[in-house]
Amino acid sequence: MSEKQVPDVQYKGNGEQKGFFVSYTQLAIAVVVVIAITVAVGLIAGLTGNAGSGSQASTGGTTVATTMATTKAAATTKATVASTTKGPTVKPTTPAPPKYPALAKARLPTDIKPSEYYFELDVDMTTLSYTGINVINFTVVNPTNIIVVHIDGITVTGTPQVSTDRYFSTGLQNVIDQGSYAKNNYYYTVLQSNLQAGGVYYVRYTYNAKLSSDRSGFYKYQYTRASDRATVWAAASQLEDFYARRVLPCFDEPAMKATFQANITVPSNYSALWNTMRTGVTMMGDKKRFEFSTKTPVMSTYLMAFTVDDFVNVNGTTNRNTMVRVFSRPGIKQYSNYALGAAINITEYFESLFGLNYQMGKQDHVAVPVFAAGAMENWGLILYREELLSYDPYYINSNGLESIVTVISHELAHMWFGNLATLQWWNHLWLNEAFANFFQNFGAAPYEPGLFLMQQFVLDSVQSGLSTDSSPTSHPIVPPSAYGPFFDRITYQKGGSVLRMFRDYLGHDNFFTGLRGYLNDYSYSNADTVQLFASLTKAVAQNPFNISEFLGPWVYQMGYPVVNVTRDTQNNQGVMTQQRYLNNKDANPSQEGTGSPYVSPYQYKWTIPVNYYDQASSNVRRVVFGMNDAQAVVPWPANSWIKLNANQMGFYRVMYPIDNWNRLATALQSNLNVLLNTDRANLLDDAFTFALTKRLDITVPLSLTKYMSNEVDHLPWTVVSNNFFNFRLRLSNRQSFQHFVKYNLKISGPPADRLQFLDTGGFMEKSARYTVLNTACGAGYVPCINNASAILAKYMMNKVANNVPATYRTIVFRYGIAYGGVAEWDALYNEMRQSLDITDRGRILNALSYARQPWILRRFLNYSMDPTKISASSTFTVFTFVSRNPVGRYLAWDYFRENQAFIKQRYGSTRTLLSIVTQYFNDQFRLDEVRKYIAAYPETTLAAKATENGIIARIQNNMRYLTDFESKMSTWFSQN
């Protein structure tokens, strides 16, 4: 599954079932964090369904007593007593144990192994529900008289049938009990007699369910049809990780692989897609039955997929004649051709690279208007967010194009890493997602060489992963089996970055020889990390290289090292030491955080490949800093600078002596090309990170930015822009802001003049243009503002003749509104209301928050509370955007308090929105106001209390930030 749109989300599924992995306190905090992230980046992701502890069920056979009396689990009593009412305390009762021992474990019994599923779905798009019949063919491994499958939200109708005959005409077994055990999402069928080991049987379930509303399982959604602007119902699926059980009774664990065959009946004005190619259509009155008689390969349940809609496709074939189709709403069919070409090309490249052909007869890609994840790698039927599959150059800029091609490449990599060779259990998720993260750039790079995707990987994955994995409460890439799955930046970006580093260290040929061996060893099967290491070890059998010793510390312990280098002038060398890097410099790097369940087996040491070059030679050399070595050395000529971690190939940070930081800053001002663009970005990222964690004086990274007036490369400008955006949010409405703006103009004005409002150049130039112009306009650079305003004025006169290119469309909309008036605001608001393009609607929604007139921003907040004007799903996003605007920050706070009763009634709690509108508060007066509000409008839930504590802590941290940095930054900005 593509994580590009889903950063930091660790759990997915039914929140009620997560307790197995985390405490209730952790659960509440996780809910709050996920909600906040969802608001900030416009993502929707649920929390995990029950997954279990990873302790395997007994393999010795399971038999339940047939004379066991029927019992009911005692209901948990929850009493709510008003504070003014006295009475006896009602104690919750302890739930009874499950009726049968086989239900007690959170992992399925292993006495039965499924081999084939034959099922039918009959979908009613009027009632938004469906009925199903599912037949599972299975083999008995150990004698048992109980069949346990997963269900969640499904109503089983009638008694399941068990037989030795697929058609249930003979060999019927006597069913004596059936029922569900909700805690583990189990449905059980108990037989009078044991099923014998080695026997082959069938079980049939009939059931019904509603199409879900939370974008998981088999879910419903609506979209606007372009031809008549009618609102249309459609359905799609998202089954990873624990959602197949929402669609049909099944053995919903990744190692319980089987083949699948389906028939799907839908209303006659709809079509249905499934993993395999349709083999027939039968009219049944006002319905159509779509028949898919070709079995899937052996695969996990989470890879099934369904769509019910009226979409159309463009299609082509690979050089092996595999049919590739891209489906979309009819109104955007013409924007599917780019994705089609990318999918065909990247599939052919992966077939050659991995030495194994794509395994299905067809490959469908579907642009789903409403989809929670970025995309999902269902075998033969890959589903995407619409904006990540449809390329309209009118609206999509170069960064958007990068997202499209890398997400396609990510999902196609899963056809090998995840679908063909599948993780054994969810704690080994990196075997799917880290490989897909690495290959999303590596696989797309030959198709789009102008995007410089392996350079872009440094920003998108390496630096992103480093930022996330610096907390004492992080987690290993491969946690113990009782924890996970973690669909987050550690599994994805850190995992992909470790693979990139490992490939560079091991060598391209050895790396791919090992991966081909792994894929061959575990095709149509399951593997864990130890087995991956074994396959890689076989590839380098002639080379005395210990794969486990190198990779083990990177995947089995959390965190990463900081390499501290000091100069040994007597021997002209640099002496390196290592320790775990933590954002809190005062924390003990050798200890886990309080309450962390992850204990390092390596004492937080790593084997580090250190690539470097220096002022005397640009040739990249390498030394290996072994995990058991107290220190390592590199040659370092006198009176020169050195750059470690060349090309930021390693997943670590580097701390230099102050003299080297200064030498590097001076060198960049003389000639920025003395360092690679990736190294300039790396140097800036490390320096800002060290300064903001008080390891380095804040003037050091600021001095490094002096050369930026000559910089027109996208990578370093992205690092500087992100940090300056943070400064802007923190310093706005402060006296020091004037000095920051002056310096900002000094370094962003010259490159803005060079790049201009043009739609020329390649990816790096266009991306740099967006970043630089956004920075310059944000600082109030007059030529930038004047150009943006003039371009928007022309656009408002004739949108076709004066179309604004996607390259700088966001800049024009933002600052045209910021320095315009109500006419500009209303024009773009109305355009957003009429647009059917998801990307442009999001762009305009953000731009509307840049207005500087308080009454317009207040009206914007009013609109956000009225679903007839702005979708209710965008309410929190609007408040987030307005709170970033210095003019809107306290306005949003006042508006929130004025409407707190309505907000409480609408959402059940005010705390999430309270967190949003106070996120940039940084003084005692506002802190006191927030405390007064919390006291005046108390909420007693665990989640509310956790949110309140987080809000107070964040404001206090914001205040400390100003105490620590503002004075020195203000002085430096004023003097430079």
Instruction: Write out the binding residues.
Output: 410, 414, 433
Tokens in use for 425?
A: 């259990």
Contacts of 629 (CB under 8 A, 6+ apart): none
Tokens in use for 841?
A: 């609607």
Tokens in use for 320?
A: 């092996």
Four-CA torsion 347, 348, 351, 352, nearest 10 degrees: -140
Pair 748, 775: CB distance under 8 Å: yes
Calpha distance 118→137 (Å, rounded): 8
Active-site amino acid positions? 411
SS3 372: coil
Tokens in use for 361?
A: 């007869």
Pair 682, 645: CB distance under 8 Å: yes
The DSSP call for residue 803 is: P
Q: How many CB atoms lie within 10 A of CB 48?
A: 26
Calpha distance 805→761 (Å, rounded): 13
Annotation: binding site for Zn(2+): 410, 414, 433
755 to 455, 759, 770: CA distances (angstroms) = 21, 10, 9
Pair 191, 146: CB distance under 8 Å: yes
Calpha distance 536→549 (Å, rounded): 12
Q: How many CB atoms lie within 10 A of CB 954?
A: 16
Q: What is the DSSP pairing of strand 307-309 with strand 271-273?
A: antiparallel
335 to 2, 340, 412, 612, 685: CA distances (angstroms) = 21, 10, 20, 44, 37
Calpha distance 777→745 (Å, rounded): 9
In the beta sheet, which residues pair with residue 324?
Answer: 316, 363
Q: Exposed (0-12), middle (13-18) or buried (19+): which is 191, by Cβ within 10 Å?
A: buried
439 to 406, 443, 453, 854: CA distances (angstroms) = 8, 5, 10, 47
Tokens in use for 674?
A: 């003395």
- The gap from C-alpha 551 to its chain's centroid, in whole angstroms, comes to 24
275 to 261, 293, 350, 531: CA distances (angstroms) = 9, 11, 20, 28
Q: How many CB atoms lie within 10 A of CB 343?
A: 26
Calpha distance 183→105 (Å, rounded): 10
> Of all residues in the chain, what percent are helix, strand and coil, respectively (each to 5)?
45, 20, 40
Four-CA torsion 336, 337, 341, 346, nearest 10 degrees: -10
